[in-house]
Each structure stands twice: as C-alpha cells, then as structure tokens.
Amino acid sequence: MKNWKVWGPIVGILACIVGVYFYLSEDRGLELNVKKNDPVAAKEAQTKIDKSFETPVASKVTEEYETMTNAELIQEVHNMTHQKVEADKKWGASEITADKVQTLFNVIKNKDFQNGSTKDMLLAILEPWIRKDFSNAVSAHNRIWSSQNGNIGKATRLLTPEEELDYIEKQFR
C-alpha cells in the first residue's frame, strides 16, 4: 500500500501527459501554429504576390528615395525585408514592388556612402530582388538588423506564400 501512495500520483501525472500528447497530436482541424502544405493555396498566394510586385507605384513614392539619407535608405530596405521573413518583432513595413526595388537600387548605386561596405551590402541585397529572387531575405534582414545593433526581432525563416500574402493584406491593403 505504501508503494501505491508514492507511485499512484506519478502514474496519474504520466497518464495525463500521455493523454494530452495524443489528444493534441490527432488531426482535429486545429492549426496549432503549424502550416499545412497546400500546393494549390501556395500557388494561388504566389500568383497574387507576383501581381502585387508588378503593381506600378506612384512616381512620388520613388522620387522620395532621391532625398533620403543613407540611414533612411538602409531602413527602407530593412522594412521591405519584413514582408518576406518570420521574426518575433517587426517595426516598420514597406511593400516590395518592382518599381521600388529598381529605383532603390539605382539611387543607392549613384549615391555616396561614407561606408562603402554598407553600399555594397545594399546593392547585393537588392540586385537579386530585381529578378524577383528573394531567397536572400533572411540573411539580408539579419545583416541590416545586426548593423543597426538589433537584439530583438532576428529573422528565422522565409514566410510561406500564404503567410506573405496575409502580411501584405494586413499591412498594405
């Protein structure tokens, strides 16, 4: 009987843990922060993202790049990366469009930077974006974030197309 007093509660707790585990691991239609792989939804989302990328931007928006300081240009690229990456915290948002990427690239290319490596970093980030290649977005975000002495909000991965589309709709529509 003495053993039951010791082992009874332990067995009960373990049974509860196992029960909760199996309950949560069953597919009950709950998302539990795990995105299911739905190729059709991903393709539809990517099509909408591509259309958004090609949407013309008012020249007034891109003309502002000409008067931005170096720090403002760095922050603009940083804000753009937020559309593409997962991070605990994101401050600032700027929609990525072909017009904006091309204009930013040209402005930065023709601008004097006291630190040439910052200019090179920004051009290296933007150059693939011109071709709609955003595979560098996580490293781009974290390079800029690190150069700004960031300690909260490190990017951990690229967003799925569905997540990115949701971000675009919440931030820009």
Mean of pLDDT over the chain: 86
Cα distance between residue 100 and residue 77, in whole Å: 10
Cα distance between residue 28 and residue 38, in whole Å: 17
Cα distance between residue 128 and residue 153, in whole Å: 24
Q: Does the pLDDT at position 37 exceed 90?
A: no
Q: Does the pLDDT at position 137 exceed 60?
A: yes
Q: What is the pTM of this model?
A: 0.76
Which pLDDT does position 4 carry in this prediction?
A: 61
The residues spanned by each domain of the chain are 38-172
CA angle 58, 93, 63 (to 5 degrees): 30
Q: Does the pLDDT at position 24 exceed 60?
A: no
Cβ neighbours around 112 below 10 Å, total:
7
Cα distance between residue 109 and residue 86, in whole Å: 28
Q: Does the pLDDT at position 27 exceed 50?
A: no
> DSSP string covering 25-77, please?
HS-SS--TT-----HHHHHHHHHHHHHHHHS---HHHHHHHHH--HHHHHHHH
In this predicted model, which residue has the larger pLDDT, 20 or 57?
A: 57
Among 18-27, 67-76, 80-89, 93-102, the least confident range: 18-27
Which pLDDT does position 32 carry in this prediction?
A: 41
Cα distance between residue 150 and residue 144, in whole Å: 9
Q: With contact defined as beta carbons under 8 Å apart, do 117 and 45 qualify?
A: no
Among 63-67, 86-90, 115-119, 163-167, the least confident range: 115-119
